[in-house]
Amino acid sequence: MGTCYSVKLVLVTKDEEKTKEAMRNFIFAELRKGTAVFDTIGKDLNNLESLVKVFITNNDYRRDGNTFTSCFDASYGWKGILLEMFSAIAPTLEDTSQIYVEPDKDYDLLKIVNGKVVVMH
């Protein structure tokens, strides 16, 4: 069982290498804990787009500059993974960064404001 997700991720990095490192660290920590299953096989985890694709469950996405959008099916808990990942990489992001996650009929919106994650909805 799962749900449909619509995701808009705006990533404006202070240092892309640090953002990629934080994403990789998050993936490997979750894999070690067994709390999430990421398909990393054949992915270049040194590439920002590949890392984003891992988080959006390897589905197609559209990229317009720093904005990644995708719609996909995943487990009910995937929203938490997306929001936790955003929080984990927050120190590496600029204030214009945000994540919008809409599972079914509700949504979550987190933004970076003054260098910190702020829950807008």
Write the DSSP symbol of residue 13: B
Task: Report the side by side order of strands in the sheet with 116-119.
Answer: 62-64, 67-74, 3-10, 98-103, 108-113, 116-119
Percent of the chain with pLDDT over 70: 99
pLDDT of residue 1: 59
pLDDT of residue 97: 97
How confident is the model over 64-113, as pLDDT tens digits? 999 999 998 888 889 999 999 999 999 999 999 999 999 877 899 999 99
Greatest distance between any 2 Cα atoms in the chain: 38
pLDDT of residue 37: 81
pLDDT of residue 105: 79
Q: Let me know: does 85 contact 23? Beta carbons within 8 Å.
A: yes
Residue closest to 66 by CA, chosen among 28, 13, 3? 13
Q: Which pLDDT band, with edges at 50, 70 and 90, does 39 fall under?
A: confident
Percent of the chain with pLDDT over 90: 67
Residue 9: which residues within 8 A CB-CB, separation 6 or more? 52, 56, 67, 68, 69, 86, 98, 99, 100
Rounded to two decimals, what is the model's pTM? 0.91
